[in-house]
Amino acid sequence: MPLKTSQDEELPGINLTSMIDVLFLLIIFFMVGTRFTESEHQISLKLPKSSSPETLMQRPGAKVVNLYSDGTIEFEGRRLTGEQLTAALVPMVQNYPDLQVRFRPDTGVAVGQASQVMEAISRSGVQDIRWATTASVMPGTRTR
Residue 124 lies in a domain: yes
CATH number, domain at 92?
3.30.420.270
Could you give the number of structural domains in the chain? 1
**Interval 38-76: pLDDT, tens:** 555 556 656 556 555 444 444 557 889 999 988 899 998
Residue 23 lies in a domain: no
What is the residue-averaged pLDDT of the chain?
Answer: 78
Residue 123 in this model has a pLDDT that exceeds 90: yes
Residue 14 in this model has a pLDDT that exceeds 70: yes
Least trusted range by pLDDT, from 28-32, 39-43, 75-79, 90-94? 39-43
Question: What pLDDT is recorded for position 5?
Answer: 62
Q: What is the mean pLDDT of residues 78-97?
A: 91
Residue 117 lies in a domain: yes
Residue 121 in this model has a pLDDT that exceeds 90: yes
DSSP letter at 129?
E
Residue 106 lies in a domain: yes
Residue 132 in this model has a pLDDT that exceeds 90: no
The answer to whether the beta carbons of residues 65 and 74 sit under 8 Å apart is: yes
CA dihedral defined by 91, 80, 134, 110, rounded to 10 degrees? -120
Question: What pLDDT is recorded for position 135?
Answer: 64
**Nearest-5° angle of CA 86, CA 92, CA 96?**
135
Residue 4 lies in a domain: no
Domain range for 105? 46-135
Residue 109 lies in a domain: yes
